[in-house]
Amino acid sequence: MKYAFFGVQVVVSVFHNDPLRRKLHEAIAGAPARQSLRDKRTFWKNVTAILNEAMPVFDMGYWDLIRGGKAEEEFESWTSEIEGSLATEKEEVGRAIDEASRLSGEKRYVLCTCLALAEEGSNSDLTLGDRCDLPKSDWWTRQTFARLIGSFPLLNFANVQADAVYLSPGSDRDGLSMEDLHGGGYEYLHPLD
């Protein structure tokens, strides 16, 4: 079977005492490991609503839709790279934020990644194709990213092979600096208008 890979990453500015980071972390961490199709849609509606509420402060982003033989490989590549870089296990997460590997102590940004691997030719694939069929001039706008993120609750999860959402850093009280984003392997991210 062939698949379609869809991935969206968005860098969001968070401000002091802004509940966005905590709300996203709670929504992601609180999701049960096993979900029915209805639970899956509810989960994605919740994540999408929280994330798109912050659309005015989307700073940078990246998205891709890949169909065919490379789709599974792309999904695996994104998930393994992200999971390898996040401290998510109890033993990895300390009581204090580790500044040793950070370029700056200013933790003003979070990176949210949403991924799906749908059966190629399915209604979910067609939905993604319709949502991604945009003029090139619109690819890197905040409105486009809100639209793309809003695609996840529209998917028929009966024909979605895999999906994932990641919040980086993996803690509800940590963040990234602009220096981290420019010097930490995130050079592919585009500034958003």
Q: Where are the domains of the chain?
A: 3-191
Instruction: Decide: pTM greater than 0.85.
Output: yes
pLDDT of the chain, 193 residues: tens digit per residue? 899 999 999 999 988 778 888 899 899 988 888 899 999 999 999 999 999 999 999 999 999 999 988 999 999 999 999 988 775 445 444 444 444 444 445 678 999 999 999 999 999 999 999 999 999 999 999 999 999 999 999 999 999 999 999 998 766 667 888 888 887 788 999 999 9
Q: What is the DSSP string of 112-175?
A: EEEEEEEETTSHHHHHHHHHH---GGGTTSHHHHHHHHTTGGGS-GGGEEEEEEEEESSSTT--
Q: How many CB atoms lie within 10 A of CB 72?
A: 17
